[in-house]
Amino acid sequence: MKILVVNGPNLKLLGTRCPELYGSETLKSLEESMTRRAGALGVEISFFQSDCEGAIVERIGRCISEGIDGIIINPAAYTHTSIAIHDALEAVRIPAVEVHISNIHKREEFRRRTMTASACLGSICGLGFFGYELALDALFNHIKKVEK
């Protein structure tokens, strides 16, 4: 099983950007913990981060040819604006889970609407980095169930 983790704009700044919202851990530490969790499940995991909407859309589009079975995506600010990322997720028809480190529903009004969640199996927010692990477990269980 192959899972791709996609992180959107400014997430490369984790650890220094708004630690009161996002914590003090870095993107690298997130990737290391996700790699360990994926290994325990016997899952191959890869990571992609971009500040560019088009690059994210292109990366999602390549998932089919790469045999990606599931996508964990934190579109970050594009969550609230990107019909293109929504459409890319719908187009590839690969199960996806949207993740947000902070609770978007406790933040500014404009952050409470997600353009991308409706193209996903579900959405997890407000649980910090643990939300990514929950998303991995959810995808793993969903894909195993579908394979039966």
Q: Is 22 a catalytic residue?
A: yes
Order the strands of the 122-125 sheet from edge to edge.
Answer: 44-49, 2-7, 70-74, 96-100, 122-125
Rounded to a whole number of angstroms, the distance between the first and last alpha carbons of the chain is 14
- Based on the residue annotation, tell me whether 100 is a catalytic residue of this protein: yes
Place of tokens 């851990």: 25
Q: Which of 78, 80, 86, 100 is the catalytic position?
A: 100
Beta bridge partners of 3: 45, 70
Q: Which of 22, 78, 86, 132 is catalytic?
A: 22
* Catalytic residue IDs: 22, 100
